[in-house]
Structures are given as C-alpha cells and as structure tokens.
Amino acid sequence: MATSLYIRNRWSLDGLRGRPQAALWSDNFGTVDTSTYTNPISGGSTTLQLAVPDGTEYTNFLILSDHNRSELDFRKNRIENRQRTINGTMRSYHVADKLQISFSWDNLPSRSFNKDPMFAASGVSNVQDLQDYTMDGGAGGVELLDWYENHNGAFWMLLAYDKYNEFEGEDRYDYLGQYNQLLQVYFTSFDYTVVKRGARNHDLWNINVSLEEA
C-alpha cells in the first residue's frame, strides 16, 4: 500500500514544491493518512491529511503529469426535472449536479522514465542512471493509454486545485498541499496523436481526455 510519504516524494515539480500534480487516477477510494510535511525551502512544517490510494503505482493508481498539460476544464451537468406550472412560474426537482472534466497534453513524452523506476516504499527510486522524461515524473503517454485500455468501468480521480470550500473551519485555506476533491468517473473519450517519433528514448504524443462523474 502507498503511504503519504510515497505520494509526497512523487511530487517532484520544482516550481510547485509541496503541491501535488493536478490529478491522480486510482482503482480504489484509498485511505486518509495524516503526516507532517516539511517545506525544503522555508523549513516550515504542515500537517496534512492526505488521500492515499491502495496498491502499487502504474498497476492500481497513476499519477498524472503536469508536463505540457492544458487547463482543467470543468462543466456542470445539472440533472433535474423542470416544468412550468399553470400560473407560469418554473418549478424544478433537483436530483444532482454531475461534472464533466476534460484536459489535454501537448508533446507529452510517451514514457515517464527511461527504465522501470522500481520506487521504494518511500517513493524514491534507487535505480542507477534513471532519467525522467516528464518534467515531474508523472505518467507518460503509453502509461495513460494503458490505464484507459484497462478501465472500461468507473474509477476514482483525485484532484488538486484551489477548492477551499471543500473544507471547514478557519484553516480551510491551508489545503493547497493535498488533494481536495475525490470523484468517481468514467472515460467519455481518449484521443492521442503520435506527433514525433524519438530516436532511442521516447516519442512525443498529444493526448485529449474527457471524463464524466459517475
């Protein structure tokens, strides 16, 4: 099982140190693990209650890369029964609001590393001469495609962006360092283009993904 230490050590994008990649896909709901994170720049400490997926990366969960990723596009689909009454006013029976989410990558490397990273329980790899092709070590094109081909049903998506209203209390503004939204989703579409074939290391892909909340 992955731990909060594993997940935090996989957040390796220098420009957003201490914040996770925008999205993670998982087979399962996972657990919430409480841990203390020390900012390597400021030295300050923060206690996080981090959602942690069960299992092994690339098999049970996939950390998506922010490498050349587009904006996260959210569209709400309001499910309701709406009709006008005899006096002309509108009445509605609201069932639920469901999200449709889409994003894409341009020139995403087809693989995240030059070889199997074989991450330890700490989320750190000790493989010699390991090179990361995606800028944050997140999933490359083939890994995304493999996830799509093996998930024709629902799965979980963890999202990290500023949505402080998901939390309560005076400290609700202090949750940028963790995932703040958990959704069960289905794939609506998955399109990819092999833009450029590399020599001996990797190709470059364009990928478009759309998902719909279950």
pLDDT of residue 90: 86
Number of domains within the chain:
1
Per-residue pLDDT of the chain (214 residues; tens, 9 = 90+): 688 888 888 886 555 556 889 999 999 988 877 666 565 556 666 666 677 898 999 999 999 999 999 999 999 988 888 888 888 888 888 888 899 999 999 999 999 999 999 999 988 999 999 999 999 999 999 999 999 999 999 999 999 998 888 777 777 777 777 888 899 999 999 999 999 998 789 999 999 999 999 9
In this structure, the number of other CB atoms found within 10 A of the CB of residue 140 comes to 25
pLDDT of residue 144: 98
Structural domain that includes position 68: 4-213
pLDDT of residue 174: 75
pLDDT of residue 168: 75
8 A C-beta contact, residue 1 and residue 26: no
pLDDT of residue 62: 97
- Return the closest-CA partner of residue 143 out of 180, 177, 105, 181: 105
How far apart are alpha carbons 135 and 61 in whole angstroms?
Answer: 19
- Return the closest-CA partner of residue 176 out of 190, 162, 159, 189: 162
Q: pTM here?
A: 0.85
Phi, psi of 59 (to 5 degrees): -105, -50
